[in-house]
């Protein structure tokens, strides 16, 4: 029976050139040599609850028109090793994630991926498109920055090992992700995570917000 390693951490929004260059190597076009040893990586998306007083809620709040749908397309997922190199995860992408479904309690499990055996301290999620549907059926595509949106999720160091499955659970932060500014929507993706890979870690760590 495979041992499962669970990874969850706090992340923040940023757009960096290195991640976008590496993002071109995602999906089945891995840059890894065939002789490299790899470990399996399972990525699962859910939503983080917003806590107000004693109540916890998960909503996709904003000041703009009401929505019936909000979907994002993931183009790449990368991980940074302890040498500071960003490595594209070998995984079947692009994939679409329903943000409203997440905040309503659904989870999205991506196809099984893999990374070279080793230690990592950061996950990078690259989002290519954001598609919104208003209550009246009007569809809106949110304009991305060059190359898409890049959410950087720092973690305490975790290990990917051959023969084991590392589970990466990324909890989307709905508060402030969509913003209605000057009569148009802007998107600012952030994720919450914790790390438990069977090692001796000291709990959650806070990431930084670039906006």
pLDDT in tens, 142-184: 988 888 999 998 888 889 999 889 999 898 988 889 899 988 9
pLDDT, tens only, 113-142:
999 999 999 999 999 999 999 999 999 999
Read off the pTM. 0.75
Query: Tokens 């490299």 map to which residue?
Result: 36
Output the six-digit token pair for 31.
């840059």
Cα–Cα distance list, 148 to 22, 97, 120, 158 (Å): 13, 15, 23, 27
Helix (H) or strand (E) holding 71: strand 67-81
Secondary structure of the chain: what % helix, strand, coil (to 5)? 5, 50, 45
């Amino acid at each position: 029976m495979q041992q499962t390693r669970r990874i969850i951490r706090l992340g923040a929004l940023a757009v960096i050139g290195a991640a976008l260059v590496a993002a071109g190597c995602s999906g089945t076009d891995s840059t890894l040599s065939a002789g490299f040893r790899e470990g399996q990586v399972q990525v699962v998306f859910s939503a983080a609850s917003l806590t107000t007083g004693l109540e916890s809620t998960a909503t996709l709040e904003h000041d703009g028109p009401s929505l019936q749908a909000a979907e994002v397309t993931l183009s790449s997922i990368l991980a940074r090793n302890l040498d500071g190199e960003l490595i594209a995860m070998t995984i079947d992408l692009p994939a679409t994630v329903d943000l409203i479904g997440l905040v309503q309690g659904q989870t999205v499990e991506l196809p099984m991926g893999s990374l070279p055996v080793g230690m990592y301290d950061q996950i990078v999620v690259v989002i290519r498109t954001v598609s919104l549907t208003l209550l009246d059926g009007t569809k809106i595509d949110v304009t991305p920055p060059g190359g898409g949106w890049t959410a950087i999720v720092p973690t305490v160091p975790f290990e990917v090992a051959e023969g084991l499955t590392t589970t990466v659970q990324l909890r989307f932060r709905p508060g402030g992700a969509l913003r209605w500014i000057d009569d148009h929507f802007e998107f600012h993706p952030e994720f919450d995570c914790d790390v438990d890979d069977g090692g001796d870690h000291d709990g959650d760590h806070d990431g930084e917000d670039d906006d």
